[in-house]
A = this chain, B = another copy of it.
Amino acid sequence: MTATKLDPVQQLKTLLAGAPIGVVGLGLMGGSLALDLRGFGFVVNGWVHRQATATRAMERGLVDAVDISAVHLQNCGLVVLALPLDQLITPNEALVQAMPPGAVITDMGSVKAPVAAALASHLPRFVPSHPMAGTAAAGVEAGVAGLFQGRPWVISPSGQEDSTAVELVEALALALGAKPVYCDAKAHDQAVALISHLPVLAGAALLQSAATGGHLARQLASSGFADTTRVGGGNPQLGRLIAQSNRVALMAALDSYNQELKLIGQLIEAEQWDQLEQQLSRGQALRPEFL
Contact = CB atoms under 8 A, between A and B. Distances in A.
Contacts of A284: 233-236
Contacts of A261: 201-202, 205, 254, 257-258, 261
A199 interface: yes
B236 A280 contact: yes
A254 B247 contact: no
A119 to B, nearest CB: 22
A59 interface: no
A262 to B, nearest CB: 8
Interface in A244-291: 244, 247, 250-251, 253-254, 256-262, 264-265, 268-269, 271, 273, 276-284, 286-287, 289-291
A219 B181 contact: yes
Interface stretch (A21-29, A64-72, A169-177, A183-191): A183-191
A231 B200 CA distance: 16
Interface stretch (A4-12, A100-108, A206-214): A206-214
A195 B213 contact: yes
Contact of A204 (B132, B216, B280): B280
A19 interface: no
Interface stretch (A37-45, A77-85, A159-167, A221-229): A221-229
A95 B254 CA distance: 47
Nearest to A265: B254
Most chain B CB within a 10 A radius of its CB, from A152, A204, A283: A283
A44 B73 CA distance: 72
B282 A208 contact: yes
Copies of this chain present in the complex amount to 2
A48 B7 CA distance: 59
Interface string A76-97: 0000000000000000000000
Given A199-B224, A220-B181, A228-B231, A240 B273 contact: yes
A232 B288 CA distance: 12
A283 B152 contact: no
Contact of A271 (B194, B210, B233, B247): B247
Nearest to A232: B283
30 contacts: A154-B220, A183-B216, A191-B220, A194-B209, A195-B210, A195-B221, A196-B225, A198-B209, A199-B206, A199-B224, A203-B228, A204-B283, A206-B257, A207-B283, A210-B286, A211-B286, A227-B227, A227-B228, A228-B230, A228-B231, A228-B232, A229-B287, A236-B281, A236-B283, A236-B284, A239-B277, A239-B280, A244-B273, A251-B268, A254-B268
Query: Nearest 3 pairs between A and B by C-beta?
Result: A233-B287, A236-B280, A205-B260
